[in-house]
Amino acid sequence: MDIFIQQIINGLVLGSIYALVALGYTMVYGIMGLINFAHGEVVMIGALVALSVIKLLANSGLPGVVIVLIGLMAAALVCMAVGFAIERVAYRPLRKAPKLAPLITAIGVSIVLQNLAMLIWGRNYHAFPPILPNGEHEILGATITSVQIAIIIIAAAMMGGLILLINRTRLGRAMRATAENPGIAQLMGVNINQIISLTFVIGSALAAVAGLMVSANYSIAHYYMGFVLGLKAFTAAVLGGIGNLAGAMLGGILLGLIESLGAGYIGDLTGGFFGSNYQDVFAFLVLICVLVFRPSGLVGEKAAERA
Amino acid sequence: MSALLLEAKGVAKHFGGVKALHDVSLSIRKGEIYGLIGPNGAGKTTFFNVLTGLYHPDGGEIVFAGEKLKASAPHEAAARGIARTFQNIRLFANMTARENVMVGRHVRTSAGVMGAVLCDRRTRAEEAAIHRRAEELLYYVGVADRADDLAKHLSYGDQRRLEIARALATDPQLLALDEPAAGMNSTETEGLRRLVEGIRADGITVLLIEHDVKLVMGLCDRVAVLDYGQKISEDVPSIVQKDPRVIEAYLGGAVA
Amino acid sequence: MTLFESLRHNRRAAIGAMLFLGILLAVLPFTVGSMMGNSWLRILDFALLYIMLALGLNIVVGFAGLLDLGYIAFYAVGAYFYALLASPHFGLHLPVWLIIPGGAMLAGLFGIILGAPTLRLRGDYLAIVTLGFGEIVRIFMNNLNAPINITNGPQGISGIDPINMGGVTLAKPIEFVGITIPSLHAYYYLFLGLALLIVFVSIRLEDSRIGRAWVAIREDEIAAKACGINTRNIKLLAFAMGASFGGVAGGLFAGFQGFVSPESFSLMESVMVLCMVVLGGMGNIPGVILGGILLTLLPEAFRHGAGPVQMALFGKILLDPEALRMLAFGLALIVVMLYRPAGLWPSSTRRREFKGEGA
């Protein structure tokens, strides 16, 4: 029983992170109908920038939480700049080009970011310095760390904030209008270039937060971490119904749960034939099943025909 | 009275709660030009899509040349002898006009990978026949001089004609034209009318959806009128024109 | 009219050009081998393998317009098929003439199996699903070493039999009418022969009923259906053909390299092959070949050059040459797509299309 609860907790933490990254994919898709393949790399940049700043300040005597917040601010700023630049350089000039062109530039951007990161931070794994209070709490026979609790709360708060932003503000209304019909939105006086830039910037800020969370929770960051994380977050976005904010959150949490429960029980289910090293297969299988059988996702409205 | 080529029996199609087609029955005789008209949204194109296998009907069946049509299998509809054009022209934009027509021959030819690679005598003969037929059809519809231009660079009227040539390339028994005169000026429409009459003279039955009532009434042997997914009238043009339900459908709502 | 098109119309010039090209290709390994050494000769052999892969993917992406990001899985199938049936791993040593065609057929079958569920998908979605399939295949290669050891996991399979034709192994220099053909040269000629065969098959297919059906599906699937094309079968045929080319290349790779491991079949390899197709000029066979050559040679040149240049300039290696190479590759992808979205050598109809729109 406690293993079950433990996997649920792990799944929720993982899922919160996926959800934050998935929001970035889904926002961009909702507005431009384009999959931002480079989004995973933005998460990676966020993690590494935050980690560098935190390492720099680790011995400064400031309280751990303050250091992490400073690291987060730095990461968010860098990621927002990167997100802005990606859209400007790789997507905007190709807005009217055939679908394949922005896909290739996105792959190009991913490769560039990954290798820039490799040049800056090297090939090594970077450990997260132990500056956060790492209390462990017992829940129903399972343990949850303070960091994990923080991750879940912060992720929930950020998602709530985003929903308010989209549904309650002028900016959010402009974003929804652009997603609905860019041409008409423009006629109504919405500066769609600005809205698209802002979408990338907001998505990138969320990615920075997610990046920090990954490195804090798993105590590690690496120039190659963005790829698989990005792919899984994308899966989450598709699972929920790409283009749909609530769907991305739901999809993220669900995928986190599926993965950790799957990894926890696959050995038992297959009589030991498959082990937890097949964890990554779940994400891909879920992705393929959703796309093949229900391309509009769990709560989505748009069909795959659109792509 | 000639034999029936196509008989639709109680065809129904709905999208969610909207009944796009409701119990539509109609019959088309061999060799006639049959018009299908109705106000916007009456279900004409939906009927076309069911007929040509793009939509799966929710009820009813269609009997074509004595045999029941398999639902939702567009390539089989083409193989059985139903060819169509589209309301908003769907050519292979980045292929030449000639290649577009050649694709139309696909269903009447059989070369496979081995044939293509080995290029044996049979394949070469088949390929030559495809070229010849494409050439003939391009002449027939009057776009031979644009044969090597990309379809998307053709003028609007030429694109409409090319689409008809491509449909004819499948050797149809029934040619279904979805608003072929849309966007044409009167000279082009006149050319189209002659083209359609020529096609009928060659023994191909024509089903025509059209907004241009004058064209339909002048060209068609019989006309069916759809309104809100139901057939409200079916007869020769002169009678349909006077049918109060038809007048009501076209003018009623708006005037009253 | 370009050189290439004028050759099409002038038979004698075409024969002359073919002869010239033939001699060039025949002496190329000797020139490269003596001037630039064996490492470049190996790269040349790999360029030929990549050309085969690029031409295979070109059928799927370029002709049929189905964006496949997991194509390398078929290369893997061919390579592992060879590795398992001709190595000490299972103690099997089947002959080449059986396993290369067998690998091609198995890869083709995989193409159909992986293609079938994706038939309704297009564009980005198809790309993601195929990417997922590619990764799944790789994860299985990585993990199928327990409880039954099939793939030997991340360590891969080594000691694979070299390609052996009629009792003559290509792993050692071959004496042939008084001339000694070194191993790398022999592989070059074998790969060249098969690459030419694949080029030939591609050209024949392009200009056939099947090729036209592929392009028709790429252009407008619904119209293609209305023309009587069984889009399901024709798409599966594209997947199978493309995959079988990949399977051939994979088998050759295993025999040539003597070693296979999951690492050789990462997503990056799929991306690389896709980029060869797109950068070269999707759907245009000479363009795709050009893409294959450029993207094999240029990064290698960069890798070989980046170290020494840094040494000369700064006296030490400041930046990881591998990272620099990939950085240049990524930037090249972006720049080419921004300025030549149809690729470096697009097909003549496409070129016309761009002119037409400019006018």
For chain B, give every domain's residue range.
1-81+172-256, 93-171
Q: Using 50, 70 and 90 to split pLDDT, how confident is the model at A245?
A: confident
* Same-domain status, C28 and C85: no
Do the chains contact at B166 and C225, CB–CB below 8 Å?
Answer: no
- Kindly provide the ipTM of the predicted complex, given to two decimals: 0.93
**Domain hosting residue A88, numbered range:** 2-293
Name which of A98, A105, A304 is nearest C334 (Cβ-Cβ). Answer: A105
Tell whether C23 and C172 lie within a shared domain.
Answer: no
Number of domains in chain C: 2
**The pLDDT of residue C335 is above 50:** yes
Q: Which of C259, C304, C308 is nearest to C43 (CA)?
A: C304
Q: Nearest Cβ partner of C227 from B116, B119, B170?
A: B170
Residue C317 lies in a domain: no
> Judged by CB atoms within 8 Å, which residues 167-206 of B form the interface with C?
167, 169-170
Q: Residue C354: pLDDT above 50?
A: no
In chain C, which residue's Cα lies nearest the Cα of A103?
Answer: C124
- Based on the domain organization, do C98 and C15 belong to the same domain? no
Contact, C269 vs C72, CB < 8 A? yes
Residue whose tokens read 């917040």: A69
pLDDT of residue B143: 95
| Secondary structure (3-state) at B70 | coil
pLDDT tens digits for C28-59? 888 888 888 888 999 999 999 999 999 999 99
Helices C183-206, C231-257: inter-axial angle, 10-degree rounding:
170
- Partners of C121 on chain A (C-beta within 8 Å) are 291-292, 295, 304, 307
Of residues B249 and C61, which shows the higher confidence score? C61
Whether pLDDT at A302 is above 50: no
Structural class in CATH, domain B1-81+172-256: alpha beta
What is the Cα–Cα distance from B146 to B234, expressed in whole angstroms? 40
Least CB–CB distance from C205: residue in B84, B99, B117: B117
Is the pLDDT at B197 greater than 90? The verdict is yes
pLDDT at C353: 46
Q: Is B48 on the interface with C (CB under 8 A)?
A: no
pLDDT band at A204, cuts 50/70/90? very high
Chains C and A touch (3+ CB pairs under 8 A): yes
Whether residue C168 is found in the same domain as residue C22: no
| Averaged pLDDT score across all residues of chain C | 88
The Cα A53–Cα A66 span in angstroms is: 12
Higher pLDDT pick, B249 / B160: B160
Examine the domain organization and report whether C113 and C43 are in the same domain.
yes
C283 inside domain: no
**C92 vs A283, C255, C260, CA distance in Å?**
36, 14, 16
Judged by CB atoms closer than 8 Å, whether chains meet at B102 and C212 is answered as yes
B129 touches chain C (CB under 8 A): no
Total domain count, chain A: 1
Q: Give per-residue pLDDT as tens, B93-139.
A: 999 999 999 999 999 999 999 999 998 999 999 999 999 999 999 99
Residue C308 lies in a domain: no
Residues C87 and C214 in one domain: yes
- Chain A interface disruption, residue of C129, C278, C329, most A CBs within 10 A: C129
Residue A135 has pLDDT above 50, yes or no: yes
Q: What is the pLDDT of residue A60?
A: 85
Alpha helices in chain C (DSSP H): 3-9, 11-36, 38-57, 72-85, 96-115, 123-143, 183-206, 209-219, 221-226, 231-257, 267-281, 285-314, 321-339, 348-358
> Taking the CB of residue B183, how many other CB atoms lie within 10 A of it?
13
Looking at per-residue pLDDT, the higher value among C351 and B188 belongs to B188
Give B209's contacts (C-beta < 8 A, 6+ positions apart).
B35, B36, B37, B44, B45, B48, B87, B176, B177, B178, B179
Q: What value does the mean pLDDT take over residues A208-225?
A: 90
Peptide bond before residue B244 is cis, with ω within 30 degrees of 0: no
Q: Which amino acid does the sequence have at C256?
A: F
Element (H, E) at B60: strand B59-64
The answer to whether C8 faces chain B, any CB pair under 8 Å, is no
Q: List pLDDT tens digits, range C287-296.
A: 999 999 999 9
Residue positions counted in chain A: 307
Distance (Å) from the alpha carbon of C200 to chain B's nearest alpha carbon: 8
Residues linked to residue C93 through DSSP beta bridges, in sequence order: C86
pLDDT single digits (tens) C173-232: 888 777 888 889 999 999 999 999 999 999 999 999 999 999 999 999 999 999 999 999
- The pLDDT of residue B256 is above 50: no
Q: Is residue A110 part of a domain?
A: yes
- Which backbone phi and psi does C43 adopt, to 5 degrees? -60, -40
Host domain of residue C163 = 39-276
Would you call C326 and A115 a contact, using CB atoms and an 8 Å cutoff? Answer: yes
What is the token pair recorded at A253? Answer: 């949490």
pLDDT on residue B255: 42
Q: How far apart are CA B130 and CA B128, in angstroms?
A: 5
Residue B92, pLDDT above cutoff 70:
yes
For residue C83, being part of any structural domain is answered with yes
C166, C84: one domain: yes
Q: Residue B252: is its pLDDT beyond 70?
A: no
d(CA C228, CA B166): 11
Write the residue in C210, C215, C231 that is nearest to B112 by C-beta. Answer: C210
pLDDT of residue A281: 81
Contact residues on chain C for B102, CB-CB shorter than 8 A: 212
Chains A and B touching, counted as 3 or more CB pairs less than 8 Å apart: no
In a 13 Å sphere around the CA of B4, the CA atoms on its Cβ side amount to 12
Label residue C359 by pLDDT band (50, 70, 90). very low
